[in-house]
Amino acid sequence: MIENQSDNIDNKEKDDSNLDNAPEDTSSTQNLETKNDELSSQEKEEINEELKNTISNNDARLEQLEKEHETLKNQYVRISADFDNFRKRQSRDQDDLKIQLVSKTLTAILPIVDNFERARQQLKPENEEAQALHRSYQGLYKQLVEVLKQQGVSPMRVVGQQFDPNLHEAVLREPSEEFEEDFIVEELQRGYHLEGKVLRHALVKVSMGPGKQNSQQEVEKDTVEGDINSEANTSEDV
């Protein structure tokens, strides 16, 4: 039995030595490596293609976002400009409304100022009592004028100025040796400005220029003489 075991051991050692001496299968290993390389290159191509698609999609998305940003920016600029114009228009309308209300009120007060001025020209205080009354009147008049100044009212100075229909209203025209034609000779009713705008036109007398009266008289004289001569010729014919 011992001999059989030894024989088995010897046979096993021989088989191991045969296995060690057997040639290695290199072709299978190379095939595996080639397949691995092919799979690796295919995966790389797929990854590269995926990256290209991702970059292309990102570029398209970025371009779209830039267009949307430009559109929103233009809308913001337009809205901002419209709001600024609206704010300016509202402020201008409020100022115009304020001036209209003030103008309406002050226009109703101006005839009172005219009466004060006419009364001042007519009053000639002779005694102490009349002078005291006159001083009181002057105080009231100055107070009224001061209130008008605070509201932005200023009187026009028209005598000697050239006639301007935007500022003046011509009531009379007469010849003048002192002023040239279309220059204001006399102020009949004072005009006023309010914040640079006309509150009330000035009523004025306008010059027709020097020599107009003499020329008119000469024309009338020639007309009368012509009529007389005509009547004389008629009588002689009769």
Instruction: Check: CB of residue 106 under 8 Å from CB of residue 194.
Output: yes
Please tell me the distance from the alpha carbon of residue 155 to that of residue 169, in angstroms, as a whole number. 15
Tokens of residue 58, six digits: 């990102």
| Residues 188, 153 contacting (CB under 8 angstroms) | no
Pairing between strand 192-194 and 153-155?
Answer: antiparallel
CA–CA distance, 132 with 125 (Å, rounded to integer): 9
CB neighbours (10 Å) of residue 203?
Answer: 17
What whole-number distance in Å separates Cα of residue 232 and Cα of residue 23? 170
Which of 215, 219, 211 has the alpha carbon at shortest distance from 177? 211
CA–CA separation, 163 and 182 (whole Å): 6
Strands (DSSP E) contained in the chain are 153-155, 168-174, 184-189, 192-194, 197-200, 202-207
pTM of the entire structure?
0.53
Beta strand 202-207 pairing with 168-174: parallel
Beta-ladder partners of 204: 170, 187
Tens digit of pLDDT at every position of the chain (238 positions)? 444 444 554 555 545 544 444 444 555 566 555 655 655 777 777 787 788 888 888 888 888 888 888 999 899 999 999 999 999 998 888 888 887 888 888 888 899 888 888 887 777 777 777 778 778 888 888 888 898 899 889 999 999 999 999 999 999 999 988 888 999 999 999 999 988 889 999 999 999 988 644 444 444 445 545 554 554 444 344 3
Q: Domains of the chain: which residue ranges?
A: 114-124+132-229
Of 120, 112, 121, 149, which Cα lies nearest the Cα of 137?
A: 120
Architecture of the structural domain at 114-124+132-229: Roll (2.30)
CA–CA gap between residue 3 and residue 15 (Å, rounded): 19
